[in-house]
């Protein structure tokens, strides 16, 4: 596959504008109206009683006569931190994937989107057992030819998953804007430069706690009132919720940079140099040339899961990121 050079849309070239543009001007979501869909509540296998809310769009040819033929493959798509299955990048990717003959599953992480209230706890950056549960379900019920696409925090999750020793049940993957080193990214997000995004994320988590969506111990509820930084939240809430003694132990165990050298599946990683949420940090320290199964695209601009460009004959809808990802998966068919 060839990768067209990314050129930011006029007047949306700044890193923050690229990052928030699709949030302010989201694409129309036809996935529950114009396309056949079903909601799936999948019980996880860890014995917690928690469930994941999945949104399933089967290939168009299964119910439309005039449609692209099914290519036999499904794509599992996973949103970033405090996003959900309705996140703009998932909607755009899923819509275009259906028109190319794929089937699609959009996964809500625990207590996200329509899955709010179906889990006791929230999610965390390395919760790869949930990815395994969903892939096991898809493999047995939908297709044995599966790709996986993760964004932001879930890009870290996907890279960790494919670097682990397990029955992956997937052919290839994509990871967009991944935080490679969670500790370094936390330091940045707690700095003045990352404060806007930190306040957004912490505010969203605190609302879930206040609304009783996430179940915490009495001590954690009291600690949550003291949270001022992202490190505070991970150290007092996230880490103990998932069996870690501290935020630093949690970061070390779940940062994908430790797992990337062990990935044997083919995959594509996309990042922007001007990402205002997840700076490059360790990107250039990885010896990518020694990992020929991984294709990397590093753009000068694009923001965080942004990559908003103008319409052109090559990109009539202006969805540069969607085209790159689907072209890559098409090349693996």
Residue 327 within any structural domain of the chain = yes
**Residue 317 pLDDT:** 80
Tell me the average pLDDT of the chain. 95
3-state secondary structure of 294: strand
Tell me the mean pLDDT in the region 11-40.
94
Q: How many CA atoms lie within 13 A of 228 on its CB side?
A: 2
What percent of the chain shows pLDDT beyond 90? 88
Q: Are residues 121 and 174 in the same domain?
A: yes
**Residue 314 pLDDT:** 79
Q: Are residues 229 and 215 in the same domain?
A: yes
Tell me the mean pLDDT in the region 49-73.
95
Residue 1 within any structural domain of the chain = no
Tell me the mean pLDDT in the region 172-194.
97
Residue 70 — pLDDT band, cuts 50, 70, 90?
Answer: very high
Tell me the mean pLDDT in the region 83-100.
97
What percent of the chain shows pLDDT beyond 70? 99
pLDDT digits (tens, 9 = 90+) for 197-228: 999 999 999 999 989 899 899 999 898 999 99
Give helix 182-189 / helix 195-210 axis angle, nearest 10°.
100
Is 90 exceeded by the pLDDT of residue 315? no
Burial letters 83-99, b for 16+ CB under 10 A, else e: bbbbbbbbbbbbbbbbe
Tell me the mean pLDDT in the region 72-77.
98
Q: Which of 229, 254, 279 is the last residue of a domain?
A: 254
Residue 81 — pLDDT band, cuts 50, 70, 90?
Answer: very high
How many whole angstroms separate alpha carbon 307 and alpha carbon 22?
A: 10
CATH number at residue 32: 3.40.50.1820
**Residue 4 pLDDT:** 63
Q: Are residues 160 and 105 in the same domain?
A: yes
Tell me the mean pLDDT in the region 73-93.
97
Q: Which of 254, 283, 298 is the last residue of a domain?
A: 254
pLDDT digits (tens, 9 = 90+) for 106-118: 999 999 999 999 9
Angle at Cα 316 formed by Cα 315 and Cα 318, nearest 5°?
Answer: 60
> Mind spelling out the 3-state secondary structure of 184-253?
HHHHHHCCHHHHHHHHHHHHHHHHHHHCCCCCCCHHHHHHHCCCCCHHHHHHHHHHHHCCCCCHHHHHHH
Q: Are residues 189 and 314 in the same domain?
A: no
Tell me the mean pLDDT in the region 39-51.
96
Q: Are residues 79 and 104 in the same domain?
A: yes
Which positions are annotated as active-site residues?
152, 275, 304
Is 90 exceeded by the pLDDT of residue 1? no
Is 70 exceeded by the pLDDT of residue 3? no
* The total number of structural domains that make up the chain: 2
Q: Are residues 163 and 269 in the same domain?
A: yes
Tell me the mean pLDDT in the region 153-161.
98
The domain in which residue 90 lies consists of: 15-180+257-331
Angle at Cα 216 formed by Cα 214 and Cα 217, nearest 5°?
Answer: 170
Angle at Cα 243 formed by Cα 239 and Cα 248, nearest 5°?
Answer: 40
């Amino acid at each position: 596959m060839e990768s067209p050079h990314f050129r930011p849309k006029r007047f949306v070239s700044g890193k923050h504008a690229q990052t928030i543009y699709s949030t302010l001007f989201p694409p129309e979501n036809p996935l529950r109206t114009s396309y056949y869909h079903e909601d799936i509540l999948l019980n996880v296998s860890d014995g917690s009683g928690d469930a994941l809310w999945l949104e399933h769009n089967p290939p168009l040819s299964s119910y439309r006569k005039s449609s692209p033929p099914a290519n036999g493959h499904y794509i599992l798509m996973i949103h970033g931190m405090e996003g959900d299955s309705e996140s703009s990048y998932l909607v755009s990717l899923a819509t275009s994937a259906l028109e190319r003959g794929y089937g699609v599953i959009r996964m809500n992480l625990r207590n996200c989107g329509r899955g709010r209230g179906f889990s006791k706890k929230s999610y965390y950056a390395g919760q790869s057992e949930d990815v395994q549960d969903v892939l096991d379900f898809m493999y047995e019920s939908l297709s044995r030819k599966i790709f996986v696409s993760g964004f932001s925090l879930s890009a870290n999750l996907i890279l960790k998953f494919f670097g682990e020793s397990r029955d992956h049940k997937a052919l290839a993957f994509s990871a967009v804007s991944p935080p490679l080193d969670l500790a370094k990214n936390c330091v940045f997000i707690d700095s003045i430069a990352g404060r806007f995004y930190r306040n957004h994320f912490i505010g969203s988590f605190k609302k879930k706690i206040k609304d009783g969506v996430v179940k915490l111990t009495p001590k954690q509820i009291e600690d949550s009132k003291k949270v001022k930084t992202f490190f505070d939240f991970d150290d007092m809430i996230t880490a103990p919720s998932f069996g870690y003694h501290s935020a630093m132990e949690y970061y070390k165990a779940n940062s994908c940079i430790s797992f990337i050298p062990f990935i044997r599946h083919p995959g594509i990683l996309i990042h922007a140099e001007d990402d205002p949420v997840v700076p490059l940090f360790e990107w250039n320290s990885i010896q990518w040339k020694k990992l020929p199964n991984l294709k990397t695209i590093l753009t000068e601009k694009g923001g965080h899961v942004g990559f908003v460009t103008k319409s052109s004959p090559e990109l009539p809808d202006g969805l540069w990121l969607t085209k790159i990802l689907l072209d890559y998966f098409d090349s693996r068919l």
